[in-house]
Amino acid sequence: MEIWDQLGEWLANLIKTILGALNLPLDWNIVVLKLIGVVTVATFGLLLVILLTWIERKVAARFQDRFGPNRAGPFGLLQAIADMIKLITKEDITPSGADKIAFNIAPILGVVSVLLIWAVIPFSSVWFGTEINVGVLYIAAVGSFGVISILMAGWSSNNKYALLGAFRSVAQLVSYEVPLFLTLLVPVLLGRTMGVNGIVKAQDTWFVILAPLPALIFFISSLAEIGRTPFDLLEAESEIVAGFHIEYSGMKYAMFMAGEFLHAFTIAVLTAILFFGGWQGPGAAEFPLLGLIYLFAKSFVFYFLVIWIRTTLPRVRIDHMLAFNWKFLTPLSLVLLMVTALLEKAFEADALRIPVLFGANLLVLIITVQILRIVSKRQQRELKTFEPRPVAVPPPAEEVSA
């Protein structure tokens, strides 16, 4: 760890020396160093999108018994580059009746909202953009910018399909933020900190063992938050043509797609960090490169799960999706949050802390399943006893004419 700290200090001193040779004010050194960090993290995230598009298309093809991209370059690796060049060279169109300022800002805000999350992601024990003591609150705040970008895109496009997609975004994304934020508080309670790196360091035992149900709800709510299948009602092409981004073309459309792909991988990273130990692993504290490998190995497992769900599950109906959130996920999240808070306080420094918290989650799961069975049987009885109203049959044509 000392070697990496010394390397970081050496690079920082080198940059400060170069800036000093240019006779720039001392305060500018800090600004330039921060700017270099921002550009590095943002560039890494945007370049990662190129790899993610290739991975998703290849994995989806294997699920569907196809080959996927295999012509452009070895294993089709250059296909994403070709698509990027195609999107850059396409004509950029802005509808004449659109609100041009909001219309052009929306795709930028959609990408920035995801890139801002990466500012507090701890890649290893010493590699992170910035460490703040309210990192979880920061993630919750900047992650909501994506909802604003979708609203801006749909409202400013002057298109009824785009507007309908924007309305759906209010109904879906804002609704699923409730269980998402409730389960986001569970690792905060277990780790007793809102710092993201602090939560990772507190996971001597992965939080998924202490809170498996909140981890599952967090993952499901995150899928709905990014509008991935089966929650892709924002851009249901069979119903509203393309949703909120129907009027976008070229690089503006590509920015929405880049934000979606990067956000899908970001929720995989957050799941690994908050519930599966993040960069923690054998030797990760001494060798930061190992921590980086551990983090991305765990993250790609969850990203594979995201692709699997997108490839196999059908789209759910909008009323079913909202009922699932408000009638099931939100009440269950509240119960789990209260149970975790009470038991964590009662067994704060007890050897029974882990089995008690795991047992409590198991008990809540059993009770939930029993409640669902009772509700399901009640609904089946109501369907059996339901008598449809008689339909009035019009008289034959001969009687009418007579």
Q: Is residue 394 situated within a structural domain?
A: no
How much is the pLDDT for 387?
Answer: 63
Residue among 203, 229, 196, 221 nearest 314 (CA): 229
Report the domain count for the chain.
Answer: 1
Task: Give 72-79 contacts, CB < 8 A, sequence gap 24+.
Answer: 79/54
Q: Is residue 48 situated within a structural domain?
A: no
* Side chain identity, residue 11: L
Range of the domain at 149: 90-380
Distance from C-alpha of 254 to C-alpha of 299, rounded to nearest angstrom: 24
Quickly tell me which residue has 């400060």 as its tokens. 16
Diameter over CA atoms, the chain: 106
Cα distances (Å, whole numbers) of residue 315 to 6, 235, 262 = 52, 11, 21
Q: Is residue 126 situated within a structural domain?
A: yes
What sign results for the dihedral spanned by CA atoms 69, 72, 76, 79?
Answer: negative
Q: pLDDT 10s per residue in the chain (402 long)?
A: 556 556 666 666 777 677 667 666 667 767 777 787 778 878 888 888 888 888 888 898 888 888 888 888 888 888 888 888 888 888 888 888 888 888 888 888 888 888 888 888 888 887 777 788 888 989 888 887 888 888 888 888 888 888 877 877 777 888 888 899 999 999 999 988 898 988 998 888 899 999 999 999 999 998 888 878 788 776 666 566 667 878 888 888 888 888 888 888 999 999 999 999 888 888 887 778 888 899 999 999 999 999 999 888 887 887 888 888 998 999 999 999 999 999 988 887 777 888 899 999 999 999 999 998 998 888 888 777 766 666 666 666 665 555
Determine contact, residues 111/104, Cβ cutoff 8 Å.
no
Tens of pLDDT, residue by residue over 174-207, are 888 889 999 999 999 998 889 898 899 888 889 9
How much is the pLDDT for 12?
Answer: 67
How much is the pLDDT for 304?
Answer: 92
How much is the pLDDT for 339?
Answer: 92
Tens of pLDDT, residue by residue over 1-38, are 556 556 666 666 777 677 667 666 667 767 777 787 77
Q: Is residue 188 situated within a structural domain?
A: yes
Q: Is residue 300 situated within a structural domain?
A: yes
Distance from C-alpha of 397 to C-alpha of 399, rounded to nearest angstrom: 6
Distance from C-alpha of 95 to C-alpha of 105, rounded to nearest angstrom: 14
How much is the pLDDT for 248?
Answer: 85
Residue 180 CA, chain-centre distance (Å), reads: 10
How much is the pLDDT for 160?
Answer: 80
Q: Is residue 109 situated within a structural domain?
A: yes
CA–CA–CA angle 193, 198, 201 (5° rounding) = 130
How much is the pLDDT for 237?
Answer: 60
Q: Is residue 16 situated within a structural domain?
A: no
Q: Is residue 127 situated within a structural domain?
A: yes
